[in-house]
Amino acid sequence: MATTIRPLDVPESISSAVDVPFETALLPDPDLDVSEWADEYRTLSRVSAGEPGRWRTTRTPFLREIMDCLSPSSPFTRVVFVKPVEADAGYASTSSISR
């Protein structure tokens, strides 16, 4: 006895609600440097930051070049960062990893 498999009868509203986010997820990441990505997507929590809210590279301009050297499009394969104790290095490095 053969079994016939029929497609599910999915309402159009559910189908489009799933298709659009799925198609968007398949798009390549925008070509952003790490500092640009952090400005666009990074949020600092109240627990871990003295100034919670959106990340602003303009607030820590000395990190911009370091962050951009950690970008996938950067020609550098090794970045050495010598810093004082409280220089937000953790935020710079996690932004590059998060991207």
Domain that holds residue 40: 34-98
pLDDT beyond 60 at 11: no
DSSP output for the chain: -----------HHHHHHHHHHHHHHTSPPP---HHHHHHHH-EE-TTT-SS-EE--GGGSGGGHHHHHHTSTT-S-S-------TTS-HHHHHHHHHH-
pLDDT beyond 60 at 44: yes
pLDDT beyond 90 at 39: yes
**Residue 16 domain-assigned (yes or no):** no
User: 45-65: per-residue pLDDT in tens?
Assistant: 888 788 889 999 998 898 899
**Residue 25 domain-assigned (yes or no):** no
**Residue 78 domain-assigned (yes or no):** yes
**Residue 77 domain-assigned (yes or no):** yes
Position 84 confidence tier, pLDDT thresholds 50, 70, 90: confident
**Residue 74 domain-assigned (yes or no):** yes
Number of domains in the chain: 1
**Residue 11 domain-assigned (yes or no):** no
pLDDT beyond 70 at 4: no
Q: What is the pLDDT of residue 40?
A: 92
